[in-house]
Amino acid sequence: MDLKAYLKQKAALVDEAIMRYLPAPDTMPAKLHQAMRYSVMAGGKRVRPVLMLAACAAVGGNEKNALPAACAMEMIHTYSLIHDDLPAMDDDDFRRGRPTNHKVYGEATAILAGDALLTEAFILLSDARINSDVPPEVLLRVCSTIARCAGSMGMVGGQVVDMESEGKEIDFPTLEYIHTHKTGALILAAIQSGALIGGADEKTFDALKRYGGAVGLAFQVADDILDVVGDSQALGKSAGRDHARGKNTYPALIGLDASRSRARDLVNVAHQAIEPLGEAAEPLRAIASYIIERET
């Protein structure tokens, strides 16, 4: 399949919907709504939303039904980036080649824009009219899945342990905790949500859960590798930056070759998990392969 065209088309679908769902930029308070839009439209690849649409379609669901939840997922991802970049956290001035939210709108507004995006995600997830083709009990389970994966025992938990570990030597289980939580949890939530909205039976849901867990971790391992071998310009950030600031990465802990082999193993696990799904899961397979082949 032509993955590049697929990703482009689905990302465009997400972009169009997310613009529609976000409050208009002149809605009071205008500065807040502009700050929210600034980061949402900062050129993300929409990995999580596209995975959700693909998972929904893979189980025979209508991907349109997953669009609001997919946009909610991207809002949560964006809020986490805004807060990560704050001076008290990673203190980053640039992301994807553009000034970070707090550099443009100030620190206070950036904190609040993050808070508002996280909240907006749950507005979208709980709106019965926007999600009229999803049964309320399914929507509630999606909401619960996403909240758990984003919270203190999911993404935020991973972020805290990552922060605490900076500049320290950590063991492998701690590194896997950071990666499965900080990055993996939201990717897993995207896959699970797509499966739920698509109406997957329990067996298929479990298969996709295995896929999501493997792909989520593989994604972060590949990111760590790219930080070492990638091209700064293509990445839109300084390669080697993680290493320079004492971030714990796979290559730093187990070396580049072992990291590559770990990423390959994870992608194999992902492929095996969804083997029974046949043709409809082709995009999910292609995305998993792409993770270890990508250069940005």
| 159 contacts its own copies (rule: CB under 8 A) | yes
Q: Name the minimum Å distance from CB 27 to its own copies.
A: 7
* Binding of residue 143 to its own copies (CB under 8 A): yes
Cα–Cα distances in Å, from 290 out to 3, 229, 263, 293, 294?
A: 9, 17, 11, 5, 6
> For residue 289, what are the contacts with CB-CB under 8 A and spacing of at least 6?
267, 271
Separation of CA 244 from chain center: 24
Residue 30 CB contacts under 8 Å (≥ 6 apart), including other chains: none
Cβ-count burial 54-80 (b if 16+ within 10 Å, e if not): bbbbbbebebebbbbbbbbbbbbbbbb
Does 96 participate in binding its own copies (rule CB under 8 A)?
no
Q: Please, which residues bridge with residue 98 across strands? A: 95
Told to check if 83 binds its own copies by CB under 8 A, we report yes
Give the nearer residue to its own copies in terms of CB position, either 148 or 260: 148
Check residue 126 for interaction with its own copies (CB under 8 A).
yes
31 binds its own copies, rule: CB under 8 A = yes
Q: Is 177 in the site for its own copies (CB under 8 A)?
A: yes
Cα–Cα dist 190/118, whole Å? 15
Contact flag: residue 24 with its own copies (CB under 8 A):
no
Q: Which two tokens stand for residue 236?
A: 């839109």
36 binds its own copies (CB under 8 A): yes
Structural tokens at position 7: 């990703």
Rule CB under 8 A: say whether 103 interacts with its own copies: no
User: Is 292 one of the binding residues for its own copies (CB under 8 A)?
Assistant: no
Helix (H) or strand (E) holding 221: helix 202-229
Residue 109, interface with its own copies (CB under 8 A)? yes
Identity of the residue, 62 or 126, whose beta carbon is nearer to its own copies in the bound complex: 126
β-bridge partners, 95: 98
Q: Near its own copies by CB under 8 A, which window of 3-11, 113-121, 197-205, 220-228?
A: 113-121
State the nearest-atom distance from the C-beta of 81 to its own copies, in Å. 12
Q: Which stretch binds its own copies (CB under 8 A): 62-70, 80-88, 221-229, 231-239?
A: 80-88
Residue 247 as a binder of its own copies (CB under 8 A): the answer is no
d(CA 74, CA 89): 21
Interface residues with its own copies (CB under 8 A) are 23, 27-29, 31-33, 36, 79, 83, 86, 88-89, 106-109, 111-112, 114-116, 118-120, 122-123, 125-128, 136-137, 139-141, 143-144, 147-148, 150-153, 156-157, 159-161, 163-164, 177
